[in-house]
Amino acid sequence: MRMLINVPETVVADALRGMAAAHPELTVDIENRVIVRRDAPVAGKVALVSGGGSGHEPLHGGFVGPGMLSAACPGEVFTSPVPDQMVRAAAAVDGGAGVLFVVKNYTGDVLNFDMAAELAEDEGIQVAKVLVNDDVAVTDSLYTAGRRGTGATLFVEKIAGAAADEGRPLEQVEAIARRVNDRSRSFGVALGACTTPAKGSPTFDLPAGELELGIGIHGEPGRERRPMMTSGEIAEAAVDAVLPDLDPSNPVLVLVNGMGATPLLELYGFNAEVQRVLGERGVAVARTLVGNYVTSLDMAGASVTLCEIDEELLGLWDAPVRTPGLRWGM
């Protein structure tokens, strides 16, 4: 095992120490595993809280800041944070206008955020929840009931975060988040497995010359294995898997997301093929984001997320954002 770590047991705490040193605009509670905007709580502003297992960086801690999340709760690698973390985060950022929990559809995350919502409401904090379930590859899996939550999490957190920063009430912010999720679909492909620090070896066996179509962000199996395909062929498979759930007459946001080990040279080349396929299918592209945003440790591969966009959602997407993992307009 060759990793830039000390020991597996401290990998999350060490990363949080490094994050705190690099980003003084954040308050990083290393012991309790909570990352909070330095300006929180903001009186009268809806707060957004999300979280999940570590290993998907910059999701979620890297999306804390103006224009996105108010706080994030990192769990152990590929392991849900616990309700106490979520309640602490909610209490730290509640400015009296309520808190929106953004939850990826994985069983542990769903159960723990549900419990945290009940505990937070017992403390007088108004809570709403939005479940992200955009992955078309698998319905029901080892980790979830229903579709998995993947790349659309970024779209939900960015667009709902902008709505919250505009001062919109909780009901509106929740409705916008649900609208983004309902209009978003994703599909991923693995060219190689990831390696967790605790295991020290690949999470699954992918023979040389093969790829896995429809993988999740924890190394879960996908739809099928095939012999290695070209970038253009993979783009066609991904886009054609996503489009049946969307209205192709609407323009889309495009996220071409790296899974952690795929270099930007390949991701931009893959994006060129995704854009080609969308053009051939008659789909207009409003905005495109390329890079490593919702990762799976050191997995080689990529995912494609499309979101049907309208004028209101596009304005919120374009709104300024300043976080460690995403920033423009400020």
pLDDT in tens, 70-86: 999 999 999 999 999 99
Catalytic residues: 56, 218
Half-sphere exposure for 181 (CA within 13 Å, toward CB): 24
Instruction: Tell me if 326 is assigned to some domain.
Output: no
Mean pLDDT of 47-74: 98
Q: Of the given ranges (104-118, 194-208, 226-240), which has the lowest mean pLDDT?
A: 194-208
Res. 218 pLDDT band, cuts 50 70 90? confident
**235 and 133 in a common domain:** no
| pLDDT at 221 exceeding the cut of 80 | no
**78 and 195 in a common domain:** no
Instruction: Tell me if 136 is assigned to some domain.
Output: yes
Q: Are strands 321-322 and 327-328 parallel, antiparallel or unpaired?
A: antiparallel
Residues 131-150 have pLDDT tens digits of 999 999 977 666 667 899 99
pTM: 0.97
Among 133, 150, 183, which residue terminates a domain? Answer: 183
Quote the tokens at residue 313.
């959602």
| Segment holding 240, helix H or strand E | helix 231-242
CATH number of residue 201's parent domain? 3.30.1180.20
**190 and 115 in a common domain:** no
**156 and 72 in a common domain:** yes
Percent pLDDT > 90 in the chain is 89
Number of domains in the chain: 2
Domain that holds residue 280: 184-320
Mean pLDDT of 186-192: 95
Among 154, 183, 212, which residue terminates a domain? Answer: 183
**142 and 29 in a common domain:** yes
**125 and 19 in a common domain:** yes
Q: Which residues contact 128 (CB under 8 A, 6 or more apart)?
A: 98, 99, 100, 101, 170, 171, 173, 174
Among 183, 210, 237, which residue terminates a domain? Answer: 183
CATH number of residue 26's parent domain? 3.40.50.10440
**102 and 191 in a common domain:** no
Omega prior to 41 cis, within 30 of 0 = yes
Instruction: Tell me if 329 is assigned to some domain.
Output: no
Instruction: Tell me if 60 is assigned to some domain.
Output: yes
**254 and 155 in a common domain:** no
Contact 214, 158 (CB under 8 A): no
pLDDT at 143: 62
Res. 202 pLDDT band, cuts 50 70 90? confident
| pLDDT at 228 exceeding the cut of 70 | yes
**178 and 30 in a common domain:** yes
Instruction: Tell me if 330 is assigned to some domain.
Output: no
